[in-house]
């Protein structure tokens, strides 16, 4: 059964969403148009025996990177960060290892070449053990050597993006990214988007449990070869995911994101928690030029700058088309496309999560689910575009 509502004329979105209910667990899809909610749907179970409800939050995975990017752009818009300044201007230790040429915009756009934590095997495990040692992680990133001349190539900085953005924001505001997201984004917009769920957090009673897909087998040789590559501690791709040789964060998602230590730490690139409704509302602000319901978080020029093409080419590790704005995906990127005809910008996450803004249509939408399979379900998005033709 599908819960929630659709505005008249959007019934096709509900039908498309209902038709997608073929996976374990549950999901939610929400959309805003011209400042108002037009779709807010959910279905399935948040956990065995516990139905998904209106207020069920889910782990956003890397879809939180768009929220982190917004926090960074707020700092840029206020003059606290300069996109064209070296990162070492704010984080002097970062200049080590030849990184004096890494600019702030290179961190935003996944072109810095700083893709892993040096020596992570010494103290970090895929279940989240050691990930709370933020000072040590930052110290090691500061010693890293970029894999290419900054700005000349791009690849998805799956984990280091979040840590580098954390440190930049902390250096210029004196506050953690967790606090900046809460105070500068969530509270003004009346939404609940947060980083991680520390011990004792009441979200645990409502949060959807993460469900891992089955591991690849010999029956799916291409996927099996990819999984071997991304769990190898010897490949650049595996190292970017802090792989150990037979595992990494993606393989361990159920332990990491349910009760494991990983969900309790602050990971600005990975363990956001939100409802689809709240994520879509945040993107509605961006779709409307930085202001929503009288709350302005960014200037119009800052939104335009944040969403302009920064890099277009091929992803260095993934071998797929890469189109990056400053902290946001542009379509197509990493094998996924959102928005009609590639319109707009946003950020997806592992397992089918995504949030997107299409300023040309005044539209925003988000999808979150508990089963983190390898594919994105964009049929509700496609039905949404059909409804506003």
What the block records as the tokens of 21 is 């209910």
Residue 338's pLDDT is what?
Answer: 95
Spatial CB neighbours of 339, under 8 Å, sequence gap ≥ 6? 331, 345, 346, 356, 358
Q: How far apart are CA 363 and CA 388, in angstroms?
A: 9
Q: Is 62 noted as a catalytic residue in this protein?
A: yes
- Looking at residue 200, what is its pLDDT? 67
Say if 212 falls within a structural domain.
yes
In tens digits, what is the pLDDT along the chain, a chain of 389 residues? 899 999 999 999 999 999 987 889 999 999 999 999 999 999 999 999 999 999 999 999 999 999 999 999 999 999 999 999 999 999 999 999 999 999 999 999 999 999 999 999 999 999 899 999 999 999 999 999 999 999 999 999 999 999 999 999 999 999 999 999 999 999 999 999 999 987 767 777 799 999 998 877 777 777 778 788 889 999 999 999 999 998 999 888 998 999 878 899 999 999 999 999 999 999 999 999 999 999 999 999 999 999 999 999 999 998 889 999 999 999 999 888 999 988 999 999 998 999 999 999 999 999 999 999 878 889 999 999 999 98
Contact 271/263 with Cβ under 8 angstroms? yes
Name which of 51, 1, 57 is nearest 25 in CA terms.
51
Q: Does residue 363 lie within any of the structural domains?
A: no
Tokens 């602050």 found at: 266
* Residue in the structure block whose two tokens are 């210029």: 172
- Would 235 be classed as within a structural domain? yes
219 within some domain: yes
> Using CA atoms, how far apart are residues 356 and 347, in angstroms rounded to an integer?
7
Q: Check if the beta carbon of residue 169 is closer than 8 Å to that of residue 337.
A: no
389 part of a folded domain:
no
Give me the number of domains the chain comprises: 1
For residue 49, count other CB atoms closer than 10 A to its CB.
6
Average pLDDT score, the chain: 94
Query: What letters, b where the CB count within 10 A reaches 16 and e where it falls short, cover 256-273?
Result: bbbebbbbbbbbbbbbbb
Q: Say if 236 falls within a structural domain.
A: yes
User: Which structural domain, as residue segments, surrounds residue 218?
Assistant: 208-250
- For residue 232, what pLDDT is reported? 93
Instruction: Tell me, yes or no, whether 27 lies in a domain.
Output: no
Task: Report if residue 143 sits inside a domain.
Answer: no
- Catalytic annotation, pick one of 20, 62, 240, 370: 62
Residue burial 73-96, b: 16+ Cβ < 10 Å; e: rest:
bbbbbeeebebeebbbbbbeebbe
pLDDT confidence of residue 20: 82
């Amino acid at each position: 059964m599908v819960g929630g509502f659709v505005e008249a004329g959007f019934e096709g979105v509900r039908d498309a969403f209902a038709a997608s209910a073929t996976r374990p667990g549950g999901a939610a899809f929400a959309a805003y148009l011209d400042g108002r909610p037009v779709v807010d749907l959910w279905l399935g179970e948040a956990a065995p025996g516990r139905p998904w409800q209106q207020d069920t939050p889910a782990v956003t995975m890397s879809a939180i990177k768009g929220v982190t990017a917004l926090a960074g752009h707020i700092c840029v818009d206020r003059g606290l960060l300069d996109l064209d300044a070296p990162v070492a201007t704010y984080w002097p230790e970062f200049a080590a290892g030849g990184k004096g040429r890494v600019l702030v915009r290179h961190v935003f756009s996944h072109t810095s070449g700083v893709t892993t934590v040096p020596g992570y095997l010494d103290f970090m495990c895929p279940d989240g053990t050691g990930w709370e040692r933020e000072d040590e992680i930052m110290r090691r990133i500061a010693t890293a050597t970029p894999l290419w001349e900054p700005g000349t190539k791009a690849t998805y900085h799956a984990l280091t993006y979040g840590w580098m953005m954390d440190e930049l924001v902390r250096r210029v505001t004196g506050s953690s990214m967790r606090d900046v997201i809460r105070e500068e984004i969530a509270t003004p917009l009346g939404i609940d988007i947060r980083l991680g769920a520390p011990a004792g957090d009441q979200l645990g009673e409502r949060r959807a449990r993460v469900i891992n897909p089955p591991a690849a087998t010999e029956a799916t040789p291409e996927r099996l070869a990819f999984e071997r590559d991304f769990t190898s501690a010897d490949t650049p791709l595996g190292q970017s995911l802090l792989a150990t040789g037979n595992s990494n964060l993606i393989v361990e998602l159920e332990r990491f994101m349910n009760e494991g230590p990983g969900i309790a730490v602050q990971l600005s690139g990975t363990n956001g928690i939100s409802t689809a409704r709240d994520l879509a509302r945040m993107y509605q602000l961006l779709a409307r030029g930085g202001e929503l319901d009288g709350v302005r978080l960014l200037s119009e020029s800052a939104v335009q700058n944040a969403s302009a093409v920064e890099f277009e080419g091929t992803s260095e590790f993934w071998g797929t088309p890469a189109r990056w704005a400053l902290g946001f995906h542009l379509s197509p990127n990493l094998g996924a496309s959102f928005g009609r005809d590639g319109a707009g910008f946003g950020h997806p996450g592992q397992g089918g999560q995504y949030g997107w803004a299409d300023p040309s249509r005044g539209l925003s939408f988000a999808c979150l689910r508990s089963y983190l399979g390898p594919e994105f379900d964009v049929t509700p998005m496609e039905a949404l575009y059909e409804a506003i033709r």
